């Protein structure tokens, strides 16, 4: 699994076209066929489910997921511009995959795949970048992309801890006073951070939805 994650990460650091050669020196048209241009095509070639021209192999076909075909493709699906992947590591990865062929089949609709989108919005007239983390969710008889998490730098200042006054707290017997001392948590707008549970994790997605529904945050485009 380590090698699978390592090499898949490396393979997608540049546009999906691997510009890889299947055999020797190839003509331009053959090189075009050899390029992996889409995610689903990368998956099919990784699994050994199509030829270099994109013709599909189905269960029952002799070439379908054959070790020979997969070995041929696995060697050329690497991002050749990444000099950090040594030939030895590539060879070890291919061996690791082919030693467990049934466990090393990629399934787009059955894995923990996600997409990271860098998007642009306007907030009160100012341009703001928002990162959307998308995941696949089962929906009726199929799947769909949904927003799972959001990060926006414009929200971060609201969750910064006040390290200068971290000594402030509500006394453990505050309930005996009907929490009348709670007012000190709201004396200043920034003081509330000191009274929040330590394991609190800021939820930018909730703020994102709130601002979108109020009409303050308006979508522009995806980078």
Give the pLDDT mean for 117-132.
Answer: 96
- Per-residue pLDDT for 122 more than 90? yes
How far is the C-alpha of 20 from the C-alpha of 10, rounded, in Å? 15
Q: Are 104 and 65 in contact (CB under 8 A)?
A: no
pLDDT for 138 equals 87
Q: Are 132 and 147 in contact (CB under 8 A)?
A: yes
Task: Name the percent of the chain lying above pLDDT 90.
Answer: 43
pLDDT digits (tens, 9 = 90+) for 7-33: 454 454 333 333 333 334 445 555 556
User: Looking at 75-196, which runs of residues are DSSP E strands?
Assistant: 114-123, 126-139, 142-152
pLDDT for 59 equals 94
User: Looking at 66-215, which runs of residues are DSSP E strands?
Assistant: 114-123, 126-139, 142-152
According to DSSP, the β-strands at 142-152 and 114-123 are: unpaired
- What band does 49 get if pLDDT is binned at 50, 70 and 90? very high
Higher pLDDT, 29 or 37: 37
**Residue-range domain boundaries for the chain:** 2-103, 114-222
- What band does 179 get if pLDDT is binned at 50, 70 and 90? very high
The predicted model scores a pTM of 0.69
């Amino acid at each position: 699994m380590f090698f699978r994650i390592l090499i898949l990460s490396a393979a997608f650091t540049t546009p999906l076209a691997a510009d890889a050669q299947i055999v020797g020196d190839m003509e331009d048209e053959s090189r075009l066929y050899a390029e992996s241009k889409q995610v689903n095509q990368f998956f099919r070639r990784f699994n050994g489910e199509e030829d270099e021209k994109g013709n599909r192999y189905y269960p029952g076909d002799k070439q379908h997921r054959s070790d020979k075909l997969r070995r041929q493709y696995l060697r050329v699906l690497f991002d050749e511009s990444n000099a950090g992947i040594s030939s030895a590591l590539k060879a070890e990865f291919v061996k690791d995959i082919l030693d467990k062929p049934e466990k090393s089949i990629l399934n787009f609709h059955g894995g923990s795949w996600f997409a990271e989108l860098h998007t642009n919005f306007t907030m009160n007239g100012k341009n703001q970048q928002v990162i959307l983390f998308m995941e696949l969710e089962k929906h009726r008889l199929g799947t769909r992309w949904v927003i799972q998490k959001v990060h926006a730098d414009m929200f971060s200042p609201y969750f910064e801890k006040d390290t200068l006054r971290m000594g402030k707290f509500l006394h453990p017997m505050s309930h005996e006073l009907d929490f009348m001392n709670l007012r000190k948590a709201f004396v200043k707008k920034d003081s509330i951070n000191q009274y929040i549970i330590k394991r609190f994790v800021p939820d930018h997605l909730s703020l994102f939805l709130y601002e979108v529904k109020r009409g303050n945050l308006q979508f522009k485009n995806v980078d």
